[in-house]
């Protein structure tokens, strides 16, 4: 039994099951596997699942790997990731809706070969719908984060939405906002990522530059009702402005309309912005955390119908043994990675 571990800051390894004994939430899976060879049973209310694919969560995992705000800053760390696709090996007593050989997605399971997962409202465990590629389902987590963000912002038909940062969550935020009926603009430094955003339905893209001048082109595309700040870059002055009432990127308040909203997603230690600018806009600043079973269900439904596209965002499918090399790139060249899926087969 294998798992991905961060043994020290900035480095990843593939290790055996000993690394799991203190970190798995449910129970040490190795005895479960041993029991299966004798009884083909697992604990009541759970399903035993063996990994087929897991998806890397670029922003969160890099943050943890480098000791950012999501990290306990105490290594080794082995409870990593939340995008696990596996095949059901056994079904415990009292479980309904799951059967042996089902392909399932779990949003509370790290990069681990086997796990015994509870079934229920808070488990984030679903059957992968027919017609969805298992590799694609390995990115259901980041897609569900974006779905949750769009729902938290209550994006409405006809609203103008700006997505800052065309990484995975930005790409999915743009798609989910478009599905909600918004007019979507995506901006980023990377022209290749913006090209992908256009193929996935973004109505407009803007190439940013390291200086602030390119924000004039963003402003010309506004004003915006909702901005998803998915980059983590110091861009809140460009988004919110620095003078009373902002600087034109966000829509000013008007009778009968909801206030403009900024949704902060990418991890960061602290947030600083102009109070006067936000006050003049009557701005709502929204935080969102992870996703729920309803968000996950909507992602699965839209993907199965072909409305939400995942395939074009997967740029690397690698065998598990290559994971350390991928994490080296995640540290040194994060922009070189988009959707990465680890193959456990």
In whole angstroms, what is the distance from residue 168 CA to residue 342 CA?
16
Q: What is the pLDDT of residue 17?
A: 58
Between 38 and 107, the more confident residue is 107
Question: If pLDDT is split at 50, 70 and 90, which confidence band does 286 have?
Answer: very high
The pLDDT tens digits for 123-144 are 899 999 999 999 999 999 999 9
Residue recorded with tokens 């480098």: 66
Alpha carbons 12 and 18: distance in angstroms, whole number: 16
pLDDT of 28 > 70? The answer is: no
* Whether domain 144-287 has CATH 3.40.50.720: yes
Domain ranges of the chain: 2-139+310-343, 144-287
> For position 41, what pLDDT does the model report?
58
Q: CA-to-CA distance for 110 and 143, rounded, in angstroms?
A: 17
Do residues 166 and 193 make contact, with C-beta atoms less than 8 angstroms apart? yes
Residue 156 has pLDDT above 70, yes or no: yes
Of the pLDDT bands very low, low, confident and very high (cuts 50, 70, 90), residue 296 is: very high
The CA distance from 9 to 200, in Å, is 35
Comparing 237 with 258, the larger pLDDT belongs to 237
Query: pLDDT at residue 155 above 90?
Result: yes
| Number of DSSP helices (H) and strands (E) in the chain, helices first | 11, 15
62 SS3 class: helix
Confidence of residue 40 (pLDDT cuts 50, 70, 90): very low
pTM value is 0.91
Burial of 209: CB neighbours in 10 Å, binned 0-12, 13-18, 19+: exposed
Alpha helices in 153-292, H assignment, sequence order:
168-179, 191-199, 215-221, 236-240, 275-281
233: alpha, beta or left, given left = phi > 0 and alpha = psi -120 to 50? Answer: beta
Q: Supply the pLDDT for residue 24.
A: 40
* CATH superfamily, region 2-139+310-343: Medium-chain alcohol dehydrogenases, catalytic domain (3.90.180.10)
Higher pLDDT, 63 or 246: 63
pLDDT score of 22 more than 80: no
Q: Mean of the pLDDT values across residues 56-75?
A: 91
Rounded CA separation 91/118 (Å):
10
Quick check: 108 pLDDT over 70? yes
Phi, psi of 228 (to 5 degrees): -100, 110
Please answer whether residues 80 and 59 qualify as being in contact, where contact means their C-beta atoms are separated by less than 8 angstroms.
no
331-343: pLDDT as tens digits: 999 999 999 999 9
Report residue 57 as tokens.
Answer: 């969560």
């Amino acid at each position: 039994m294998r798992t991905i571990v961060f043994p020290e800051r900035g480095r990843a390894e593939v290790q055996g099951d000993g690394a799991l004994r203190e970190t798995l939430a449910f129970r040490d899976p190795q005895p479960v596997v041993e029991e299966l060879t004798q009884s083909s049973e697992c604990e009541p209310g759970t399903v035993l699942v063996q990994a087929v694919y897991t998806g890397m969560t670029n922003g969160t995992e890099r943050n943890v790997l480098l000791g950012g705000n999501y990290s306990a800053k105490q290594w080794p760390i082995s409870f990593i990731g939340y995008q696990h696709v596996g095949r059901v090996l056994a079904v415990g007593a009292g479980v309904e809706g799951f059967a042996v050989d089902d392909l399932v997605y779990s949003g509370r399971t790290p990069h681990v070969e086997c796990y015994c997962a509870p079934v229920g409202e808070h488990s984030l465990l679903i059957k992968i719908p027919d017609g969805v590629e298992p590799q694609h389902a390995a990115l259901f987590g980041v897609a569900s984060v974006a779905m949750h963000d769009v729902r938290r912002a209550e994006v409405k038909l006809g609203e103008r939405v700006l997505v800052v940062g065309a990484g995975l969550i930005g790409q999915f935020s743009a798609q989910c906002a478009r599905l909600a009926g918004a007019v979507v603009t995506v901006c980023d430094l990377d022209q290749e990522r913006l090209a992908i955003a256009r193929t996935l339905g973004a109505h407009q893209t803007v190439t940013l530059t390291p200086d602030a001048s390119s924000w004039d082109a963003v402003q010309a595309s506004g004003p915006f009702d909702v901005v998803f700040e998915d980059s983590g870059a110091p861009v809140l002055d460009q988004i919110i402005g620095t003078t009373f009432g902002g600087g034109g990127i966000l829509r000013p308040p008007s009778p009968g309309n909801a206030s403009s909203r900024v949704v902060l997603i990418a991890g960061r230690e602290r947030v600083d912005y102009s109070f006067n600018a936000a006050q003049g806009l009557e701005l709502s600043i929204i935080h969102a955390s992870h996703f729920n079973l309803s968000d996950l269900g909507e992602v699965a439904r839209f993907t199965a119908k072909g409305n939400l596209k995942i395939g074009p965002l997967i740029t690397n499918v690698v065998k598990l043994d290559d994971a350390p090399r991928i994490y080296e790139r995640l540290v040194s060249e994060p922009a070189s990675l988009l959707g990465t899926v680890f193959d456990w087969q």
